[in-house]
Amino acid sequence: MKKLSSFLFSMFFTGLLVVIFAISIAYATFIENDYGTVTAKILIYNSLWFELLLLVMCVNLVGSVFTNKLIQQKRWPGFLLHISFVIIFIGAALTRYVGYEGTMHIRENESS
């Protein structure tokens, strides 16, 4: 169990997750450019594997806080960086599952 937790919260695994994330959102950008936003949402952004990737990244960040003892006062900048990403992930999850999308047409020289 100790070996698994040391791998899950290692810099190598964090880097691997970030590279996978960067490649997937870059690929989604190309899909969106060629086939449209709906296709990119179906294939990448709303897929289960992408949600699991974000969840594993969030768990990795929280685990890194405790593994690297970032709660100590002299390491607060690193702690704040990690926790800010966790808060961003939580906000993204809330938007994904609670929010809704709509369109609003605003004609020129009008306000809505």
Burial-class residue 93 by CB neighbours within 10 Å (0-12, 13-18, 19+). Answer: middle
Euclidean distance between CA atoms 111 and 64, whole angstroms = 47
Evaluate if pTM is beyond 0.85.
no
Closest alpha carbon to 94 in 43, 49, 54, 42: 54
In one-letter notation, the amino acid at residue 62 is V
pLDDT tens, residue order, the chain (112 aa):
677 778 888 889 999 999 999 999 999 999 999 999 999 999 999 999 999 999 999 999 999 888 888 888 888 998 999 899 999 999 989 988 898 877 888 888 877 7
* Whether the Cβ atoms of residue 12 and residue 6 lie closer than 8 Å to each other: no
At residue 1, the pLDDT reads 66
